[in-house]
Amino acid sequence: MDDTPPPSGSGHEAVEAALLSRRSVRAFLPRPVPPDLLARLLTLAARAPSNSNTQPWHVHVLTGAPKQHLGEAIVRELETNGRAEQTEYPYQPTEWAEPFLSRRRGFGQLLYLDQLGIGPADAAGRHAHHVRNYDFFGAPVGLILTVSRHSLAGALIDAGLFLQGLAIAARAHGLDTCLQASFIDFHPIIRRHLRIPDDRFTVCGVSLGYADRNHRLDTLRTEREPLSAFVTFHGDDDLAQS
């Protein structure tokens, strides 16, 4: 059984190792995640800060038949009626501006063309890969994260902090994740299957499990911009002058 060991070291070294090795994994082994470990990861993620400690998140954990049934229902909806006309919150802009457009296109080429060999004109190939989202990329655990509507934009910030904590905690224990906005396009199906109350909405899905190191997507790595692209220092120290 081939899986990446958890980051080693102590203190800041272990934290940095988890941060640096975290990535979006799109191919998982069927190896089950022990229930006590899953509970531990969610407990750690819930240490995330939130506005006035409101903790607006709620997580639906899916394994086995319930996970399969939700995925199948979403794929049926996709094939027959398509995506919902409106999402419950505007995750993406109607038009992408630079430099975000170029970064997005670069990622699309890296994923579809370079890793999967799927060209821009291969609509069937792109569709086949997209459908894998709803099987949680083969992960044994699928999560649907919801938040309260009452906190609105603030709850989305809190949800992001929760998700980052979950991803880093998972990496520290040798597991991997993929955070998936693709699920919000089928919020009516998700609401019906999981009986989500009207005062909550779906933020995203999460695939969680042990990465398949033999899958061709396992070599996918994305770069990050240098500090000079996103940091402005204000001060009298050397960093501010650089």
The answer to whether position 203 is within a domain reads yes
The answer to whether position 124 is within a domain reads no
Residue 157, C-beta contacts closer than 8 angstroms, at least 6 positions apart: 51
Residue 129, C-beta contacts closer than 8 angstroms, at least 6 positions apart: 112, 116, 118
- Stretch 201-212: mean pLDDT, rounded? 98
Which domain, by its residues, includes 55? 28-88+134-220
**Which pLDDT does position 153 carry in this prediction?**
86
Which run of H or of E encompasses 105? Answer: helix 100-108
Strand order in the sheet with 200-209: 57-62, 141-148, 200-209, 176-180
**Which pLDDT does position 151 carry in this prediction?**
79
The answer to whether position 128 is within a domain reads no
Query: Model-level pTM?
Result: 0.92
**Which pLDDT does position 242 carry in this prediction?**
54
Q: How many domains does the chain have?
A: 1
pLDDT at residue 2 is higher than 50: no
Beta strands in the chain (DSSP E): 57-62, 141-148, 176-180, 200-209
The answer to whether position 122 is within a domain reads no
CATH number (domain holding residue 206): 3.40.109.10
The answer to whether position 189 is within a domain reads yes
